[in-house]
């Protein structure tokens, strides 16, 4: 697109979303949606595999939820949590016999859930949040396209100038025809200006 004098930073929210710092608000929302949808599809496939294990060991799902809930409550009853963990461990050992990748499925689902939450918590589509983030993450604030405050290409003479440049370039490059240039600012070939000089050119 453009050759920036500054290298694009990595490990930024833009990089994680696969977009550049000058992306529009629509670009950001689209990138977030695409990644979340892709992760949700992966999560659903893993949950199907996990569901097959739960169907074979009915008490396992409830035991896992019980431990998770008690851990969220910061173990108000340590003895009860310990008992729940022992029960869950026994059931999980049984689950591994049925499906060796059971724990791997659980870990993958947890990781995907974290990624989805991380993407949803990215607020750079908000102008205020984006401005704040860019200022805190140099040189993101500098890697922006200039947007004029007036409709530049609504001016007829400006449009005509750029159309003439494109047409002249096409005729010279593709058709090998000489195009008229009103000034030296629009042409690139100056060979016709050269003239022999005995002193400089020699014999």
* Distance in angstroms (rounded) separating the CA atoms of residues 68 and 73: 9
Picking from 148, 147, 146, 186, the residue whose alpha carbon sits closest to that of residue 166 is 186
User: What pLDDT does residue 203 have?
Assistant: 58
DSSP labels, 112-145 = HHHHHHHHHT--TTSHHHHHHHHHHSTTGGGS--
The phi and psi torsions of 61 (rounded to 5 degrees) equal -60, -45
Supply 37's token pair: 């949808």
Picking from 35, 9, 33, 32, the residue whose alpha carbon sits closest to that of residue 22 is 9
The phi and psi torsions of 191 (rounded to 5 degrees) equal -65, -30
Classify residue 155 as left (phi > 0), alpha (psi -120 to 50) or beta: beta
User: What pLDDT does residue 114 have?
Assistant: 96
Residue 16 burial class via C-beta count within 10 angstroms: exposed 0-12, middle 13-18, buried 19 and up: middle
User: What pLDDT does residue 4 have?
Assistant: 47
Per-residue pLDDT of the chain (203 residues; tens, 9 = 90+): 444 455 556 678 998 999 888 888 999 999 999 999 999 999 999 999 999 999 999 999 999 998 888 887 765 678 888 888 999 999 999 999 999 999 999 999 999 999 999 999 999 999 899 889 888 887 777 666 555 555 666 677 777 878 888 888 888 888 888 787 777 777 777 777 777 767 766 65
User: What pLDDT does residue 148 have?
Assistant: 55
């Amino acid at each position: 697109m453009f050759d920036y004098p500054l290298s694009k930073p990595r490990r930024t929210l833009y990089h994680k979303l696969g977009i550049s710092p000058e992306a529009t608000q629509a670009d950001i929302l689209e990138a977030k949606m695409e990644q979340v949808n892709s992760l949700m599809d992966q999560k659903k496939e893993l949950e199907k595999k996990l569901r097959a294990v739960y169907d074979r060991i009915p008490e396992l799902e409830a035991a896992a939820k019980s431990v998770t809930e008690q851990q969220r409550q910061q173990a108000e009853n340590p003895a009860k949590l310990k008992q729940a963990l022992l029960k869950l461990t026994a059931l999980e050992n049984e689950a591994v016999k049925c499906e060796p990748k059971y724990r791997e499925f659980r870990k993958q689902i947890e990781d995907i859930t974290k990624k989805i939450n991380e993407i949803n918590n990215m607020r750079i589509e908000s102008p205020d949040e984006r401005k704040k983030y860019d200022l805190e993450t140099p040189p993101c604030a500098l890697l922006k396209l200039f947007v004029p405050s007036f409709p530049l290409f609504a001016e007829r003479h400006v449009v005509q100038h750029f159309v003439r440049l494109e047409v002249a370039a096409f005729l010279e490059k593709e058709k090998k025809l000489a195009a008229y240039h009103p000034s030296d600012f629009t042409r690139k070939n100056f060979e016709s200006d050269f003239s022999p000089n005995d002193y400089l050119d020699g014999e």
